[in-house]
Structure 1
Amino acid sequence: MHPENHLVKRIGWLRAAILGANDGIVSTASLIVGVAAASSSTSEVLVAGIAGLVAGAMSMAAGEYVSVSSQSDTEQADLARERAELASQPDFERDELAQIYMQRGLDPKLAYEVADQLMAKDALGAHARDELGMSEVTAARPIQAAITSAATFATGAALPLLTALLLPHSILILGVSVASLFFLALLGAIGAQAGGANIGKATVRVTFWGAIAMALTAGIGAVFGTAV
């Protein structure tokens, strides 16, 4: 026997974590850079950054909870419908499951034997997995997603905010921009490592779009002279 460690089980919390941390770094750094480009006061920059951190974390938590709850509601509705169909027309559901296995390469006799055995053990589970594509690993978890997103957003947002706190105003825009790009590159590498993906590709992707966001925000702040 050999140990297996499939990374798909991390999908639920990893997606929320990367989204939260990335949004925290990009939005807060962009806010700081935009305000700094429009203002000469470091205190205004810090107030804007702190407000962005708090508001963003709460927004991420609420948004993730609502969106993932909608996914969960849809999953539960499909399961309820499938449960009712199993009770009212079991023969049709048996044929439906066997057809799925035949399409995957089993001969008709074996497909029906597999369908019978799986339905005898857990009919709803078999249909949820093979007909609806649902599993315990990928099931929606609203609370987990909300907490993960809020926590990682706050952590990500704290990085450019701390950088702004430590730098003099004269180099604040450049310093926060460079530091934030470094944080984004690090986040891309960590996320890729956790998900078993290509580290270089993920790092470049995250850093590129972060740079675009900060450049646009700084440009707007400089042109209009207002905080954005």
Structure 2
Amino acid sequence: MLVLLPPSETKAEGGSGPALDLAALSFPDLDPVREKLVSALVDLAADVPASLAALGLSERQSDEVRRNTELRQSPTVPALSRYTGVLYDALDVAGMKRAERGRAGGRLAVASALFGLVRPDDLVPSYRLSASSAVPGVGPLGALWRPALGPVLAGLDGLVVDLRSGPYAALAKIPDAVTVQVVSEQVGGRRQAVTHFNKAHKGKLARALATAPREPGNLAGIVRIATKAGLRLERTSDRGFELVV
């Protein structure tokens, strides 16, 4: 089973790992696109106003451009320690026991606008690029990533639980992936999509699936793990679920 997480706009600073080595990342078929994007971001970072416009940032976020300036030289950390925010707080990697962290390392992957797809222990620097960015000379990221990322995602073995947000899911589709929508149940049984706390609930589900002693082999197994973790996961279609909160 693979649980595919969205990245986060916010990222931890610093690190103690060596400088970025694209050849050391998982999924080497993605390296040509990675190299193109890294080069384009570093070049773009030389022009701060253009970077702010391309990345959808305000002048107060100019420090984010510095991250891209130093992409090739800055220290790295494992991907699961680099990404921060609500979903990753709920995932709580730091609170995992050693055995749980080992299982999570084999069951999780993070979608990335810059790297396409990375494993938890892949060493990545801090950077700023979102799926909705349009980098000059590169264009829409979906058009760039789809030819390379699509075949990689299609080749993933076993169950794939796709927890990516819309812009990242649009970079490339995953055939037969399990999808999850977070909903709240209103008076009378009517359900509506949860927006504000969506990521926190997906983080809880990801943690349950990633750390369970036994990896689920089918959809019923996913439900059992979620239920044991106190989560209400209900099947709504052939490969679709609602996480009711």
> TM-score per shorter chain, which class?
under 0.3
- Structure number with greater CO (CA < 8 Å, separation at least 6) is 1
TM-score, normalising length: structure 1? 0.26
TM-score, normalising length: structure 2? 0.25
Higher helix share: 1
State which structure, 1 or 2, has the greater radius of gyration over its C-alpha atoms. Answer: 1
Higher strand share: 2
